[in-house]
Chains A and B, each alone.
Chain A
Amino acid sequence: MTAESSFSLLGILTAQDISFVHTFEHPGMSEFIDASAGGVMVMGGIIVIALLTYYRGWHALWCDWLTSVDHKKVGIMYIVVAFVMLARAIIEGVLMRYQQSIAVNDPGILSPDHFGQLFSTHGSIMIFFVAMPFVTGMMNYIMPQQIGARDVSFPLLNAISLWLTAAGAALVMISLVVGKFSTGGWTAYPPYTGIEFSPGEGVDYWIWSISLASIGSTLTGLNFATTIYKNRAPGMTLFRMPLFCWTSLCTSILMIFAMAPLTIATLMLALDRYAGFHFFTNDLGGNMMNYANLFWLFGHPEVYILILPAFGVFSEVISTFSGKTIYGYKSLVIATMSIAVLSFTVWLHHFFTMGQGANVNVIFGIATMLIGVPTGVKVYDWLLTMVRGRIRLTTAMLFSVMFLVTFVIGGLTGVILANPPVDFAVHNSLFLVAHFHNMVIPGVLFGMIAGYQFWFPKAFGFRLAERWGKVSFWCWSFGFYLTFMPLYVLGLMGAMRRTVEWFRPEYLGWLQVSFVGALLLFSGFLFLCVQLVVSIRQRDQRRVPAGDPWDGRSLEWSNSSPPPEYNFAVIPDVTGQDAFTRIKQQGQAYASPIAYEDIVVPKNSIVAPVIGIAAIMFGFALVWHIWWLVVFSFVCMWGAVIARSFVTETERVIPASKVRADHEAWLQQVRECATTPREQENTSVNVGRAEVLT
């Protein structure tokens, strides 16, 4: 070809990279599944666009949501992203379990390459685009309200974090249709992911989607840490904060320190691949172990970034549904902080078998086992909170109790794995896969679902249908045990992870049980969707305008459901722990404040969507070597930031009279509401005003 072909408007992108075209030219079962997945995604997109157009929703979507910098809306958008990505990643999980359950002495339905993409996207999505946005969204929505703040410290930065994360998620979705994703697993170890062994675009998709998400998370961390340190209501000292705020603080600190190693590791991998550097190559002084260290220097704190907010949710849920103050508040705070610190001292246990001396392994093994101690403290505190409480087994509470049981089992297998000699025997086997799913499903997912059930009425003003929630709960629970307990057995029998085809017939039964479990897990997800639809349809009988459906203990329950955009008409004065319970017991709840003031709230901004869309283009252009678009989108991103710095009118004022009118109207409504005894909290009697027992 001539020199013209070296510069192409679309870089190295060709028609054959579109999965539909590829499937048409090379038909096969595996390709057909790939194209169907792409087709479902494209159809989903078209349906959403059609519905928005039919219901004339574009204006509302843009003005009320996409350009909003309100922490509550940003939080909800994070959780929407998490749910969409969860749908994809869970289907991938089921597909992998199906492949393995039929692939004993048989190639099954998936090609090895496709299977490799599946376990890579499943892991990357679940960690970076399900767990992270779910956790971040939950903190976004709840934490500022719990500390009595009107917003986070940097609302626009918060929206930018959301858009960067969403841009990363979008890149992973685009890889379904345009080109292929990495086959290097969610950890993307070089040298396999180096250019020599993975020459295609797949690893580049991984690099840029993860990089965008990691920068978004760094910004989230510093934003939330600043909010908690500087934006608390008067009287809300650190040791009066609800535990969810403490866990949010620890998570934010971990984000500030732990995301940088990931950003650097992906940047170095990119330099190796794009510019021929030698960070992780086999030759010329590259050292793959540096990647392993950097990745897990991020990767292990990441586990706690995800799990700590869930611990916070469990603390709130268990305390509220036991009708008691949390047991051992200070010990829980200290345990949380200890876990945060210890999480930086154990990264090496992810690669015991990769060549350190025995003594180094022993130190990290002991440090790993140590983490069990503060975690144990927490488990006992939660148990003792329930002792002699008036426990109500709502869906959120059921998930919390199931978490306690299941998480302890996972923790015990973790202590087994922390033993370097044992780890040598079972590392990289399905035993390990079972272990970390045993931590992350109860520890993160159950926590997030519990939080979703718990705070949904706060966010949308009506309760979710308990019956469907409980059906979903049993599916998740049985599904979890059926799917992952067999994997422990298989691991001990010698089955390795990420295997596309087996040659040992004795695996068959266990793999089939596991597949049935995966179907149950998927139905658990479907029932959550059913619950949402049913609840929306019955929303008029489920409304809780008074805002306190569960006899809540912290400040977010003291305002209306959904809360006004400024959260608090008057910033509350906090006198102790369980701030709202105190106010209720002193009979001061729903009292009219003496005076109102003007409230300043940030205006909507198009900067965040501009940066997000430019970030998608930036990542896509880098993957496909479309250099003009790289430059253009980079300039767009920074241009938006600089242009924004010339905008002086970034805030608007809600006059005191308006605040007064809205707040007094709501107070009047609350005073007319009947109080709900706890026995009736799941009936239509519950309009969100709790009966106060003194």
Chain B
Amino acid sequence: MKRESRGDESVEGLGPELGKLWDSAPVPKAPPWFATRTLARIRREESRVGVWFGLPRWVFIGFGAAVLAVGWLRWEREPALGDEEVFAALDAMVEEERENRWWAGL
């Protein structure tokens, strides 16, 4: 239903002259394929939701969570090095030094 005040020369509208002019520039209508294309785009966007770089989002989230968990567990653990390991390493160093001297003819 058209409003009667539309062409009023009051604050309500553009006035008869301007109103007529304004109406002379038609408002474009949506092209016939608009609805079909819009539906296709919405479906496309929907299928893309939850996918990053072609893989489901939960794969990345799971991987990230696993890395954090492993890092946290390892951070908490004290580095354990027994006396036997230390002495074994020292023995190996002495042995290596002795071999080197032997090869050098000392």
Partners in one complex: no
Instruction: Give A contacts to B, CB under 8 Å.
Output: none
Which B residues contact A (CB, under 8 angstroms)? none
